Amino acid sequence: MKKAFYYETPLVKIGIAEEHGAITNIFFGTSVAPEEFETAETPLIRKAHKQLQEYFSKKRTVFDLPLAPEGTAFERDVWDALLTIPYGKVRTYGDIAAKVGNPKACRAVGRANGANPISIIIPCHRVIGANGKLTGYSAGMEFKEFLLKLEDYLK
């Protein structure tokens, strides 16, 4: 069974879940929460929380955690592509679709992006519309804008 623990962040309360030695979920609001979990703070969850605190205080730009997101093969390909977006940079849905080898799959990339179970660490907030505008985020647009300002993409 997954173990999860909740923490406060600068804008929202988040949960961090792990199973079998890997982070499986970061959840808040309407984002992807694990179906069943036991509330417990494990050493790995504490490590993930510490890295998130460092990220929020601008002391960390890359996470170093074992990840095990659950999804389809296509979703996992999209999430792997998201992990290649550098801190402070963005990509469009089209960019990600091309990176996973299916340039016409922009909408499918959007669905996979929205289903990302490890938000922030797998940086789905770094994906924007083709017109350069911010698009949806499971924790709300205010949080997406906060994250992109934190990374100095937005001023």
60 touches 108 (CB < 8 A): no
Q: Does 106 participate in catalysis according to the annotation?
A: no
Q: 33-66 in b/e burial notation, b at 16+ Cβ within 10 A?
A: bbeebeeeebebbebbbebbeebbeeeeeebeee
Place of tokens 């173990």: 3
Which of the following is catalytic: 124, 128, 139, 147?
124
Q: Among 52, 47, 66, which residue's Cα sits nearest to residue 13? A: 52
Q: Cα–Cα distance between 80 and 76 in angstroms, integer?
A: 6
Residues classed as catalytic: 124
